[in-house]
Amino acid sequence: MREQELIATARMMVAEGKGLLAMDESTPTCNKRFEKVGIPQNEQTRHSYRELIVTTPGLGEFISGVILYDETIRQSGAYGIPFVKTIIGAGIIPGIKVDIGAKDMAGHPGEKITEGLDGLRDRLTEYSQMGARFAKWRAVVAIGDDIPSWGCIKANAQALARYAALCQEAGLVPVVEPEVLMDGEHTLKRCCEVTKEVLRTVFNELYTQRVMLEGIILKPNMALPGLACPMQETVDEVADATVRCLMRTVPAAVPGITFLSGGQSAELASARLNAMNARFKSRLPWALSFSFARAIQQPALEIWRGKEANVSEAQQALIHRAMCNSAARRGQYKAEMECT
């Protein structure tokens, strides 16, 4: 294992003022997001959209790494320049989603298990040769009446750990993403209980599979009340609860935690990340940053709508969100930044 290289990459991924941009929607997910805003769903539009993102001027000032999807890492832009080359040229580290999706889990109604371990060693070698320096695997845990079950938590944690060990063997930093979903009526307290149990199980499995914690990035959910819960806590209460969950479960050896946005509005995601850094940064053992997809991309997607004439304005919206989240990562985000 190239330990020093993994450690250096992981640290660069959470460099001061920077975070990750997730643009790794699978083809069905990308198509669904296009459909919602009336964009035709085909390879050409997905290519144009991904090109819009990776050619956004100044992106590297706020974004340390981008997470690509298999289709995108193989594509090239203008003059046949591979996207990966454009990304590296912008001072950004290319990464790749390597799970093949969360599927219904046998014997566990309403729960999912993420697949993709078969053949993963060979795929990681190929992605590494294509220029990827880190990878991502997402497990999902739903909260409901009788769920999550121990079987679901355990199986997903073990898959995450086996993926992470293979990544480190291949010289790629694993982004370990156990997402406790926001859907439902559950309270913030319940989300905290589930998130803590999930994270404890994940770190037990990472230890069992001999994963070097200095060479991973954790990508968790924030601790949030369910979207349909009548009680919605304040930004500061969410920040307190999230930091408390993480302090109780995430070892200090981990260099950085980059949150997913999970369906929060772009502004709320920035405000909550900001509150965590503004209130706790000097006392935390790890960097707290972002790895948002929707909370960075959504405003840009809604402006673009598949029209060449809107590219520049969409890129401005994208860089604006990247800038706001960079400020939040420093604890310097202010609501007034949204009006500029």
Q: Does 138 bind ligand 13P (CB under 6 A)?
A: yes
177 is known as an active-site residue = yes
Candidate segments 77-85, 144-152, 166-174, 259-267, binder of ligand 13P by CB under 6 A: 259-267
Nearest C-alpha neighbor of 182 from the set 294, 338, 101: 294
Quick one: 31 or 76, whose CB is closer to ligand 13P? 31
174 near ligand 13P, judged by CB under 6 A: no
User: Hey, CA dihedral for 87, 167, 30, 195, is it positive or negative?
Assistant: negative
Q: Where are the alpha helices (DSSP H) in 116-187?
A: 120-129, 150-169
Distance CA 339, CA 315 (A): 17
For ligand 13P, which stretch binds (CB under 6 A), given 68-76, 113-121, 258-266, 309-317? 258-266
Minimum separation from the CB atom of position 2 to ligand 13P (A): 25
Task: Rule CB under 6 A: say whether 294 interacts with ligand 13P.
Answer: yes
Distances (CA, A) of 281 to 21, 49, 256, 277, 329: 21, 35, 12, 5, 9
261 contacts ligand 13P (rule: CB under 6 A): yes
Distance CA 119, CA 205 (A): 21
Nearest to 225 by CA among 247, 204, 253, 194: 194
Say whether 83 sits in a helix, a strand or coil. helix
Name the catalytic one among 25, 51, 111, 177: 177
Of 224, 262, 299, 324, which lies in the binding site for ligand 13P, with binding defined by CB under 6 A?
262
Any catalytic annotation for residue 267? Answer: no
- The verdict on 182 binding ligand 13P (CB under 6 A) reads no
User: In this complex, which beta carbon is closest to ligand 13P, that of residue 158 or of residue 270?
Assistant: 270
> Does 226 sit near ligand 13P (CB under 6 A)?
no
CA 14 to the chain's CA centroid: 12
Handedness of CA 321, 139, 330, 244 (dihedral sign): positive
Nearer to ligand 13P, 163 or 210 (CB): 163
Contact letters (x/-) for ligand 13P, 11-30, by CB under 6 A?
-----------x--------
- Told to check if 245 binds ligand 13P by CB under 6 A, we report no
Dig out the tokens for 289 from the structure. Answer: 């940053």
Nearest CA-CA partner of 274 in 231, 198, 338: 338
Residues 6+ apart with CB under 8 A from 106: none
Q: Which of 219, 334, 336, 338 is catalytic?
A: 219
- Out of 93, 293, 300, 322, which residue is the one contacting ligand 13P (CB under 6 A)? 293
Question: Up-side HSE of residue 272: CA atoms within 13 Å toward CB?
Answer: 29
Which residues have a catalytic role annotated? 177, 219
Residues that bind ligand 13P (CB under 6 A): 22, 138, 177, 260-262, 292-295
